[in-house]
Amino acid sequence: MKILVMGAGGVGGLYGGRLAHAGHDLTFVARGAHLAAMREHGLLIESEVHGNVLVKPVKVTDDPLTAGTPDVILFAVKLWDTEAVAKQLKPIVGPNTAVLSLQNGVVKDDILRGVFGEQALMGGVAYVGTHIACPGVIHQVGTMQRLVFGEYDGQRSARAEALLAALLKAGIQAELSGDIRRTLWEKYTFLVGLSGTTAAMRTTLGPVRENPQTRAFLFDLMKETVAVGRALGVNLPVDYAEDRMKFADGLPATMDSSLHHDLKHGNKLEVQWLAGGVVQLGKKAGVATPCNRAVWDILALQAQGRTLQP
* CA-closest candidate to residue 289, choices 297, 280, 299, 298: 280
The answer to whether 161 touches 188, Cβ cutoff 8 Å, is no
What average pLDDT does the segment 298-307 reach?
Answer: 88
308 inside domain: no
Summarize pLDDT for 126-157 with one digit per residue, the tens.
998 888 999 999 999 877 789 999 999 999 99
Q: Tell whether 139 and 195 lie within a shared domain.
A: no
What average pLDDT does the segment 220-237 reach?
Answer: 98
pLDDT at 307: 53
Q: Tell whether 127 and 232 lie within a shared domain.
A: no
pLDDT at 147: 96
pLDDT at 310: 38
Q: Tell whether 144 and 107 lie within a shared domain.
A: yes
Q: Tell whether 171 and 51 lie within a shared domain.
A: yes
307 inside domain: no
Single residue among 115, 147, 178 that ends a domain in this structure: 178
How far apart CA 240 and CA 130 sit, in angstroms, is 26
User: Which residues are CB-contacts of 310 (< 8 A; sequence separation ≥ 6)?
Assistant: none
Q: Tell whether 33 and 155 lie within a shared domain.
A: yes
User: Which residues are CB-contacts of 283 (< 8 A; sequence separation ≥ 6)?
Assistant: none
Q: Tell whether 80 and 171 lie within a shared domain.
A: yes
CA 47 to centroid of chain Cα atoms: 19
pLDDT at 252: 87
Q: Tell whether 7 and 77 lie within a shared domain.
A: yes
Q: Which residue range is the domain that position 95 belongs to?
A: 2-178
Domain of 261, CATH number, reads 1.10.1040.10
Q: Tell whether 186 and 75 lie within a shared domain.
A: no
Single residue among 126, 149, 178 that ends a domain in this structure: 178
Classify strands 173-176 and 137-151 as parallel, antiparallel or unpaired.
parallel
pLDDT at 50: 85
How far apart CA 85 and CA 140 sit, in angstroms, is 26
pLDDT at 75: 98
Single residue among 178, 203, 238 that ends a domain in this structure: 178
Q: Tell whether 17 and 150 lie within a shared domain.
A: yes
Percent of the chain predicted with pLDDT > 70 = 99
Total tally of structural domains belonging to the chain: 2
43 inside domain: yes
Q: Tell whether 8 and 63 lie within a shared domain.
A: yes
In this predicted structure, the answer to whether residue 220 has a pLDDT above a threshold of 50 is yes
3-state secondary structure string across the chain: CEEEEECCCHHHHHHHHHHHHCCCEEEEECCHHHHHHHHHHCEEEEECCCCCEEECCCCEECCHHHHCCCCEEEECCCHHHHHHHHHHHHHHCCCCCEEEECCCCCCHHHHHHHHHCCCCEEEEEEEEEEEEEECCEEEEEEEEEEEEEEECCCCCCHHHHHHHHHHHHCCCEEEECCCHHHHHHHHHHHHHHHHHHHHHHCCCHHHHHHCHHHHHHHHHHHHHHHHHHHHCCCCCCCCHHHHHHHHHHCCCCCCCCHHHHHHHCCCCCCHHHCHHHHHHHHHHHCCCCHHHHHHHHHCHHHCCCCCCCC
Q: Tell whether 28 and 137 lie within a shared domain.
A: yes
Percent of the chain predicted with pLDDT > 90 = 91
How far apart CA 64 and CA 160 sit, in angstroms, is 23
117 inside domain: yes
Give CA angle at 247 (243, 248), nearest 5°. Answer: 115
Q: Tell whether 116 and 19 lie within a shared domain.
A: yes
295 inside domain: yes
228 inside domain: yes
225 inside domain: yes
pLDDT at 45: 96
User: Which residues are CB-contacts of 131 (< 8 A; sequence separation ≥ 6)?
Assistant: 9, 10, 138, 139, 141, 258, 261
Domain of 153, CATH number, reads 3.40.50.720
pLDDT at 120: 96
310 inside domain: no
The answer to whether 73 touches 93, Cβ cutoff 8 Å, is yes
In this predicted structure, the answer to whether residue 309 has a pLDDT above a threshold of 80 is no
